[in-house]
Amino acid sequence: MHEARPSRTAMHVAMRRAAHQIFDARPLVLDDPIAVPIIGPEAEARVREKGGTARIGRVSRAFMVARSRYAEDKLAEAVARGVDQYVVLGAGLDTFAYRDPFPQDTLRVFEVDHPATQAWKRWKLKNAGIALPANVTYAPVDFEERTLSDGLTAAGFDATRPAFFSWLGVVMYLTDAAIEGTFRYIASLPTGSGMAFDAIVPNSALNWFERIIRHMISRRVRRVEEPFISFFRPEELRAKLSNAGFHDIEILDPDALYERYFRNRSDGLRPMGHSLLVTSAQV
């Protein structure tokens, strides 16, 4: 991403989550009362003006709300196992920390992001009047420049205790070295740790319709100087995770996400598009 500027794709994703709250049928896949306030009134007006019916918007937001819901479902499983640290990697305008459903003192939340995006998020929270909860710590880290270990240690993360990580909509923007370094670090944490993240498959794994959508989205992200640079086939991802030391690896494609979160919805919302994969794995 651009060195000195907050991530533009972070705003795009946040606007998709807001659109889900505004346009989609209840029950929502991701019920997020902070999703609309955090983007601010101008962006909300743009979302409302665009409307919720365009096909590409519907399939994109379906995937984006499903991956957040999936990560939070996996987090809940980790909390039930006794995990009390949650690290949101490449947090963007993720709102979990501001609507944390667990009893007070259950979780410490660390938001890790590129310094420029993180500063912008804090400004947006302030503008929206959203209080910073006492259990949230901000750790500025550029994954290409600084190790996660350094950034988290400086923020007071306890690497002797298990933690759960989410890494949503980030891996596709990073080099292999940055991705592997993070996998290795998480895999080095105590048993009980885990993570949920998503990745995109290469063009060669797409059908013609998915290629059209991929082409449109790729053009958009290139225009904001956040090009997709990393792609994985499910079997490559599984091997990489397994080599790093993860087990209980679960990889869901959009059809599996549909079965889990969308079947029987009255609005026909369905993730598809450019074949993204959501994955969880445990240490």
Ligand X SMILES: C[S@@+](CC[C@H](N)C(=O)[O-])C[C@H]1O[C@@H](n2cnc3c(N)ncnc32)[C@H](O)[C@@H]1O
Give me the residues that bind ligand X (CB under 6 A), please: 1, 7, 9-10, 13-14, 90-94, 113-114, 117, 141-144, 168-170, 173-174
- Shortest Å distance, C-beta 93 to ligand X: 6
- Shortest Å distance, C-beta 76 to ligand X: 18
- Shortest Å distance, C-beta 66 to ligand X: 11
Tell me which residue has its CB nearest to ligand X: 92
Q: Which is nearer to ligand X, 169 or 194 (CB)?
A: 169
Q: Which is nearer to ligand X, 191 or 219 (CB)?
A: 219
Q: Which is nearer to ligand X, 72 or 144 (CB)?
A: 144
Q: Which is nearer to ligand X, 178 or 206 (CB)?
A: 178
Q: Which is nearer to ligand X, 23 or 120 (CB)?
A: 120
Beta bridge partners of 85: 108
276, 64 Cβ separation under 8 angstroms: no
Identity of the residue numbered 152: L
164, 83 Cβ separation under 8 angstroms: yes
**Sign of the four-CA dihedral 32, 35, 41, 47:** negative
What is d(CA 193, CA 61) in angstroms, rounded to the nearest whole number? 28
The SS3 call for residue 249 is strand
- Shortest Å distance, C-beta 85 to ligand X: 18
- Shortest Å distance, C-beta 105 to ligand X: 25
Specify the long-range contacts of residues 136-140, CB closer than 8 Å, at least 24 apart.
136/97, 136/109, 136/110, 136/111, 137/108, 137/109, 137/110, 137/111, 138/110, 138/111, 138/113, 139/110, 139/111, 139/112, 140/112, 140/113, 140/114, 140/115
